[in-house]
Structure 1
Amino acid sequence: MIITFFIVAALVTVIAAVKLSTYADVIGERTSLGGLIVGTFLLAGATSLPEVTTSLTAVFVGNPDIAVSNVFGSNLFNIFILALMDAVYRRRQIMQSADPSQLKTAFLSLALTALMLTAILIPTGIVILGAGLEMYVLVLLYAAGMYYLTKTNRGEAPAAETDYNMHAVSLRHAKIGFAAAAVIVFFSGSILSITGDQIAASTGISSSFIGTFFIAGATSLPELVTVLVAIQLANYNLAIGNILGSNVFNILILVIIDAAFRGGAVLAAVHPVTIVTASAVLLLNLIVIGAIIAVRRKTFPRLYALPSLLVLLTYFFCSYVIFAYSS
């Protein structure tokens, strides 16, 4: 019965995510925002709602390990999605179509992840108003990064128009539909959280592994579907921006988790295997950054498929290491 509820919630999440991506594409077309801004901010925040509800639920049921591992695991899975789609749709040359501005989001994600990894390795032990000191630093770095991204991307040209979206859906309809789909994702993500936690408890597998892969994979379904839809719409910046933007937003979820956790700094309560997961996210981030830089400089054009293959291989290797270490 629990698995049935989980599958139904996953299907509802997928359907709502399709609508999110479609409406976001319309908003990008009918306004001056464009695919980069819509993917990085609007769509990324909405598709990260399941991670928010999942992590908060895990904290409330007394399992902060799942809460934190879900955040890092979702980011790991998101980059895996991007690499997998680039490998499957090789002729589309998704990574080659990346706007150089995506580097800014990728570097911000890298910086935020590095900060949290450092906080796990070298905890300050300082708690201010119920939150760890590192969380205040995270918020400041996030705010500065968002301000820089918004300021520097303000002049971006609008995304190319898609006849279907422009004629079938009005801007007002898109805004209302986007908001409604986001609410559905929020509640279906809550159901995923509760059923996923119960499944994790019944399997006997460690919370870290379940949170990193099983629950994180489920809550990343919106990113998977929105990337697929964005690719079908040939809006590659929306696809890439959604993944990188979601990873930035996901890291900020740690602030919410830390505020809800009543046992001190939440990063001090996680299993050591989380270090492996966070390090893997850093490594995959670096590979993506290197791929975008290589494309921008037109370096080794015959090897443009290599970064995606490296991400896939690294993901499976890290999966094995995390499972072995957490068992």
Structure 2
Amino acid sequence: MLIEIGVFAGGLLLLVLGADAFVRGAGGMALRFGISPFVVGLTLVGFGTSVPEMAVNMTAVLDGRTDLAVGNIVGSNIANVGLILGSAALVAPLTVQMRMLRVEMPLLLLSCALLWLLALNGWLGRFDGLLLLAGFVVLMGLIASQARSEPEAVQEELGHSATARGGVVINGTRIVLGFAGLLGGAHLMVDSAVDLARLWGIGELVIGLTIVAIGTSLPELAASLVAAWRGDVDIAVGNVVGSCLFNLLLILGASAALRPLPIESSMLWVEIPLMTAFALAIYPLARGDLTLGRRQGLVLLAAFAAFMGYELQGLY
């Protein structure tokens, strides 16, 4: 068991390092080919922290581990709100912009409802996956249009986030090495997670909902904690909500388009409703002064701990 845990941790480290190299290389290459820093920065901010989930899900789907793939996405979204947003709120009070409550949050809740409706027949088929991907295209168009209406200082900040040193050779090397790290890390994580599930006597769905989901959410956790520490509270909240939308529409959509995903009944009546409930909880917790403080952060962390306890009760 200790060996498998070590392999999982090594795979996770390789996955995170590979994701960082790949994103930096892709951003630098895009700039070298004349794409505007604003567009590159907007894409990197939205997609960068979701690369580990994408790598793990594509690997799991290709290996036929569809339960693990579905569990990873739903579990990651629960971890995003409960663990990451809760932890960031302990570092510094998080301001929730009214626009987020009126636009991004309804879009997230709509995506949760769409997933539930599509999965009612017990499957996410290829057409369902394409429908989710179409929703992602619409989302990106909306984000781009909104971002261009932001103040010039915000657009400059997005452009600054796209800066990457090096020419075509250096950035090409980053892409190749990063992609190799993503593939290797994802395979190590998936294989060791399956072995741990067998050793612990739990299903692959549960292992995906718990340790795999937490592992692939670590980049979001690091980004949100650093943003909260620096006082960039808008980034901390926006990073979580944006990642949840990317997970549901892009990653789960691409997974289902690649291979139809069976949906267990417990997902329909327990985990997907819980994922929606975690997202809904932001509304009452942020009411009044539109701030998630330390008390609200503790509530989210306690709810996440209860979720983990429920999922892992078979280990006791």
| TM-score after normalising by structure 1 | 0.74
1:71 to 73, 78, 82: 73
Measure, in 1, the Cα distance between the counterparts of 2:212 and 2:178: 19
**Contact between 1:208 and 1:274, CA under 8 Å: does it hold in 2?**
no
**3-state SS, counterpart of residue 130 of structure 2:** helix
Structure 2 equivalent of residue 107 of structure 1: 106
Structure 2 equivalent of residue 155 of structure 1: 149
Long gaps (5+) in structure 1: 24-29
**One-letter amino acid of the structure 2 residue matched with residue 52 of structure 1:** M
Structure 2 equivalent of residue 256 of structure 1: 254
Deviation of 1:16 (Å)? 6.2
Measure, in 2, the Cα distance between the counterparts of 1:170 and 1:49: 16
Deviation of 1:220 (Å)? 1.1
Calculate the aligned-residue CA RMSD, in Å.
Answer: 3.9
**Contact between 2:130 and 2:254, CA under 8 Å: does it hold in 1?**
no
Structure 2 equivalent of residue 273 of structure 1: 266
**One-letter amino acid of the structure 2 residue matched with residue 186 of structure 1:** L
Measure, in 2, the Cα distance between the counterparts of 1:243 and 1:325: 29
- The 10-residue stretch of structure 1 (50-59 or 317-326) with the greater mean CA deviation from structure 2: 317-326
**Contact between 2:56 and 2:69, CA under 8 Å: does it hold in 1?**
yes
**One-letter amino acid of the structure 1 residue matched with residue 263 of structure 2:** V
1:209 aligns with 2:206: yes
Kindly provide the CA deviation profile for residues 120-167 of structure 1, in whole angstroms up to 9, marking residues without a partner as x. Answer: 2x229796xxx13x33332333322332222123122334999xxx8x
Deviation of 1:243 (Å)? 1.5
**Contact between 2:206 and 2:312, CA under 8 Å: does it hold in 1?**
yes
Deviation of 1:67 (Å)? 1.0
**3-state SS, counterpart of residue 68 of structure 2:** helix
Measure, in 1, the Cα distance between the counterparts of 2:90 and 2:17: 22
Structure 1 equivalent of residue 289 of structure 2: 298
**Contact between 1:21 and 1:43, CA under 8 Å: does it hold in 2?**
no
- The 10-residue stretch of structure 1 (48-57 or 304-313) with the greater mean CA deviation from structure 2: 304-313
1:314 aligns with 2:316: no
Kindly provide the CA deviation profile for residues 184-242 of structure 1, in whole angstroms up to 9, marking residues without a partner as x. Answer: 76343443233223322332212221110011111111111222232333322222222
Measure, in 2, the Cα distance between the counterparts of 1:247 and 1:225: 16
**Contact between 1:10 and 1:221, CA under 8 Å: does it hold in 2?**
no
1:171 aligns with 2:173: no
| TM-score after normalising by structure 2 | 0.76
Deviation of 1:6 (Å)? 1.8
**Contact between 1:101 and 1:153, CA under 8 Å: does it hold in 2?**
no
- The 10-residue stretch of structure 1 (219-228 or 43-52) with the greater mean CA deviation from structure 2: 43-52
- Write out aligned runs for 1:43-122 (5 A): 43-89=45-91, 92-93=92-93, 95-96=94-95, 98-103=96-101, 104-120=103-119, 122=120
Measure, in 1, the Cα distance between the counterparts of 2:177 and 2:231: 22
Deviation of 1:51 (Å)? 1.4
- In structure 2, do the counterparts of structure 1 residues 228 and 179 end up closer, same or farther at CA, with 3 Å as the change threshold? farther
- In structure 2, do the counterparts of structure 1 residues 60 and 203 end up closer, same or farther at CA, with 3 Å as the change threshold? farther
Size of the aligned set, in residue pairs, is: 297
**One-letter amino acid of the structure 1 residue matched with residue 214 of structure 2:** G
Measure, in 1, the Cα distance between the counterparts of 2:138 and 2:246: 14
Long gaps (5+) in structure 2: 26-35
How high is the sequence identity, in percent, across the aligned residues?
22
**Contact between 1:277 and 1:318, CA under 8 Å: does it hold in 2?**
no
**One-letter amino acid of the structure 2 residue matched with residue 108 of structure 1:** L
Measure, in 2, the Cα distance between the counterparts of 1:255 and 1:140: 9
Deviation of 1:284 (Å)? 1.0
Structure 1 equivalent of residue 33 of structure 2: none
Deviation of 1:257 (Å)? 1.7
**Contact between 1:50 and 1:190, CA under 8 Å: does it hold in 2?**
no
